[in-house]
Amino acid sequence: NAGVTQTPKFQVLKTGQSMTLQCAQDMNHEYMSWYRQDPGMGLRLIHYSVGAGITDQGEVPNGYNVSRSTTEDFPLRLLSAAPSQTSVYFCASSYVASGEQETQYFGPGTRLLVL
């Protein structure tokens, strides 16, 4: 059981380039989400998904795209990278189960630098 995995761990992009941050979980969790973390700020929600084929926007969705074709995978696409997207990106997953303690399981993060 690997939990939540993210690739790559580090990435440097030039302005205007596109790329995909990968996220996978092997816990059969319904809910997956992407957050970004900037200095002096907590994590902010970019996009989330409540199940395969269903996605929605979070607090800071501009410049990012997501899709959820399987329960396991939830990739985040940067369409045209900008320096403002320099950040640490976290993927998280959880399940909705009444009567049980809840938590969100976070991946190790991807550090992205856009020059």
Partner 1 sequence: AQKITQTQPGMFVQEKEAVTLDCTYDTSDQSYGLFWYKQPSSGEMIFLIYQGSYDEQNATEGRYSLNFQKARKSANLVISASQLGDSAMYFCAMREDKFGNEKLTFGTGTRLTIIP
Give the residues lining the site for partner 1 (CB under 8 A). Answer: 31, 33, 35, 40-45, 48, 50, 58, 88, 90, 92, 94, 96, 101-106, 108-109
Residue among 14 and 99 whose Cβ is closer to partner 1: 99
Minimum distance, C-beta of residue 106 to partner 1, in the bound complex (Å): 4
Beta strands at 10-13 and 110-114: parallel, antiparallel or unpaired: parallel
The answer to whether the CB of 88 falls within 8 A of the CB of 10 is: no
Q: Read off the amino acid at residue 26.
A: D
What are the φ and ψ backbone dihedral angles of 99, each rounded to 5 degrees? 80, 0
| Token code pair at residue 43 | 């994590």
Rounded-to-integer distance, Cα 91 and Cα 76, Å: 9
Minimum distance, C-beta of residue 80 to partner 1, in the bound complex (Å): 26
Residue among 35 and 64 whose Cβ is closer to partner 1: 35
Minimum distance, C-beta of residue 8 to partner 1, in the bound complex (Å): 14
